[in-house]
Chains A and B, each alone.
Chain A
């Protein structure tokens, strides 16, 4: 059993389920928009970290440095796309 279900993977799975439940709480509690968004953002980013590090073994490859640079760059472009769009299309007019 331990061979097929390593503790690390099981813990990671349970942790991701717990994080989803934490995120779900924003629907059931009467939170302000800012507090709700903060909870969603933090739990989503932690979940992404669990997947990347634990399940995708990002730290294992020989070309680690190039790999981290690539993902960091992709995330940078992605964040600029999302927040740049929000800034020019919505927040800039308020």
Chain B
């Protein structure tokens, strides 16, 4: 196998480099997926029918917690890659654990928020606005859930094998995914919640 030792571990073999590129292609498709959901939401946001409007159900408190938690987890997954590149396994695993913990807190707050909406009579079937809202938020939340499971699996593997060509590559790709979810959240935060409360 041809290895270029001037590159960080995760890029070192050609296969690794191709995997990272392939993941960027996937993220390109994800950008388009979320664009379609935003397009639907931005078209239907004022079609509230007999149900409540965004202004009536959105609460800024939980949303700020979600934003803060996700931004911080995006920072800590960046620190994982930084530690990994210096070959520091233990700090990397600690930061990884914090990242996943923050991801779990985010999900907890989001699920609580959904339960509150449903208890207020704002369900998926209530209005076009709520259908598009739940599908947009739910798709993002499903991605975070998927990321949590993936991250746990990856942490186990890093714990067992340390940072090798494979695990370094996987960790870097996971960090791309996690940062991407943060970017999507920034747009949800701005164009769903803040716009709705404006």
A-B CB pair tally, cutoff 8 Å: 135
- In this complex, what residue of B is CB-closest to A30? B198
Q: Chain B interface (Cβ within 8 Å of chain A)?
A: 7-8, 11, 17, 20-21, 24-25, 27-29, 31-32, 34-36, 38-40, 42-43, 60, 64, 67-68, 71-72, 74-75, 77-79, 81-83, 86, 88, 91, 175-176, 179-180, 182-183, 186-187, 189-191, 194-195, 197-198
CB <8 Å contact, B32 and A23 = no
What A residues does B79 contact at CB under 8 A?
4-5, 9
Classify the interface of chain B: helix, strand, loop or mixed.
helix
Classify the interface of chain A: helix, strand, loop or mixed.
helix
Pick 18 A–B contacts, CB within 8 A, sort by A: A12-B75, A24-B194, A26-B195, A40-B194, A44-B187, A47-B183, A51-B74, A51-B179, A51-B182, A52-B183, A55-B74, A56-B175, A60-B8, A71-B28, A74-B28, A78-B35, A82-B35, A84-B39
Q: Identify which of residues 63-91 in chain A touch chain B, using a CB-to-CB cut-off of 8 Å.
A: 63, 66-67, 70-71, 73-75, 77-79, 81-82, 84-86, 89-90
The CA-CA distance from A70 to B23 in the complex, in Å, is: 11
The CA-CA distance from A41 to B21 in the complex, in Å, is: 28
